[in-house]
Amino acid sequence: MRNFYSIFSFLIFITEFKISQSDGGYLTFGPQFRATVGEVWPKPYRQVKSDKFYAVNSSDFQFVAVNKNCALLRAALTRYSKIIAATANGNFSTPATTNFAIIRKFRVNLTQSCESLPHLDMDESYYVRGDGVVRADSIWGILRGLETFVQLLVPMSNGLLLTRRTEIYDQPRFKYRGLMLDSARHFVSKAKILQLIEGMAYNKLNVFHWHMTDDSAFPYVSSVFPELSAKGAYRPELTYSKADVLEVVKFARMRGVRVVPEFDTPAHTASWGASHPEIMTKCAGKFEGQIGPLNPTKESTFDFLYKLFSEIKTLFPDKYLHLGVDEVDSACWESNADIQDYLKAHGLDNGDLPYRYLERYSANISAMGWLQMVWQEAMIENSYMEWPKGTIAQVWFDYKKTMATLTKKGHDVIMSDGWYLYVLDTGADWEKLYNVEPTDFNGNKAQKAHVIGGEACLWSEWINEHNVLPTTFPRVSAIAERLWSPVEELSVDEARLRLEEHNCRLMARGIEARPANGFGLC
């Protein structure tokens, strides 16, 4: 940790230089881009700065809750006290400033009682003043405000921390700001998942979408159907126990991050068939020997799903479940003789199969008390389906057309098209992520209001335990600012130096991150 903060300090305070392309091709000494000092990421809604400063002694300060208090707040104050103490460690080269007053108490004013769970409509607005004031009406706003306040603190060579006399009024542009992890194609350990969530909180992201199962593996250890992971996981140790899940949910909750689970159906379920072939569709004809989606003509399929998701409901307290429903190929259903006989006997045709599945499954999920999210195909390909009120569509391709279509029908949507993090480019590819705008489609003001946010996606074909963090950070930071900050304030050129500082900040806090902008120390 000490070495990280030494790097951070040296980078942000090194003498500014210019790149000169001389005939010999020489570059002057230092990093390619000089980081900002004490700037906030994501960019606040409004900040009023001055040229006056305060100082903080990292070994002589305390947070004081001056109004409401709760376990969530106490835990947050402990976490950020440790971060402040660590910020002052290392060998610093910045000159000491003498024109300041010392702050010894940070006053945290939570005006309303704590909520226990983060949720879609939580209030994350806050007010921060540079002399040590953090105020918000909700605990979630306090958490975001604490992150901002600590980002204002920068180390000086005399061991003190410098903070500008400033006022910040802040609130998010979108209420859904997510990161999805696919931990089925490659297993990602609980420890790495916790680091991901920690990094999310440092970027004011608020939804961890956990895509836990897929064709490749079923790593969740169910107590109702333990054979699912016994036969469907890669290896017994590459699984998540109930205790693991509960720890992830609690860890996220303490940081104001929701956990939305996804056990994708009816497709992407080959790993389920390893132990329960009776609920799968056996393909015939040119697909002979293959296993297709869940069989929607069997009552046992829905009995199985009800039992499994009744168990899952006890682990994930969020109001939403992601149903998946992407890439459902009906060819296997159409090739199966038993399914075709069922359709004939009931006066149905192949076009009725998706509706039969979705109507039963969605109704059962609603009966359990869940609201629903789906990938875009669920709505686009099943246009006559009457989705429960509040259902959210996640758009991942052809977004201009899809967003216009779904919002015109009154559906809430989140954006993921262009934010697939496993697609890597050489260089500062955060810039293209930063420039994706969720409302950039033809639609009126009412349609644009149905865009409630967006989500970066970590599909794990090319991501595993060893590269998941640097694949994510600081690239997801660009998406986080797009989703938080006022659209008129967004500029790649303005953001570049702040991201350089923020990337060093992430690394100093133990988050493995790839370089943001080229050569330098972070």
Residue numbers annotated as active site = 327
Contacts of 454 (CB under 8 A, 6+ apart): 174, 176, 177, 178, 414, 415, 416, 419, 436, 438, 479, 482, 483
User: How far is residue 361 CA from its own chain's centroid?
Assistant: 26
State phi, psi for 76 to the nearest 5 degrees. -65, -40
Q: What is the DSSP string of 261-307?
A: EEEEESSS-HHHHTT-GGGEEEP-GGGTT-EEEE-TT-HHHHHHHHH
Contacts of 139 (CB under 8 A, 6+ apart): 70, 72, 73, 110, 114, 115, 256
State phi, psi for 330 to the nearest 5 degrees. -80, -5
| SS3 per residue for 343-390 | HHHCCCCHHHHHHHHHHHHHHHHHHCCCEEEEECHHHHCCCCCCCCCC
Q: Report the alpha-carbon distance of residue 181 to residue 188 in Å, rounded.
A: 9
Furthest-apart CA atoms within the chain: distance in Å: 87
Element (H, E) at 456: strand 451-458
Q: How far is CA 515 from CA 30, 202, 332, 350, 503, in A?
A: 15, 17, 46, 51, 8
Structure tokens at 190: 């609980």
Q: Report the alpha-carbon distance of residue 317 to residue 113 in Å, rounded.
A: 20
Q: How far is CA 243 from CA 19, 199, 246, 345, in A?
A: 53, 22, 5, 46
Q: Report the alpha-carbon distance of residue 223 to residue 57 in Å, rounded.
A: 51
Structure tokens at 404: 């216009």
Structure tokens at 216: 């490749």
Structure tokens at 485: 């900050």
State phi, psi for 218 to the nearest 5 degrees. -125, 85
Amino acid at residue number 27 = L
- The residue among 322, 327, 269, 319 whose CA lies nearest residue 294 is 269
Q: Report the alpha-carbon distance of residue 226 to residue 371 in Å, rounded.
A: 26
Q: How far is CA 106 from CA 46, 85, 103, 146, in A?
A: 21, 14, 7, 10
Number of Cβ atoms within 10 Å of the Cβ of 84: 19
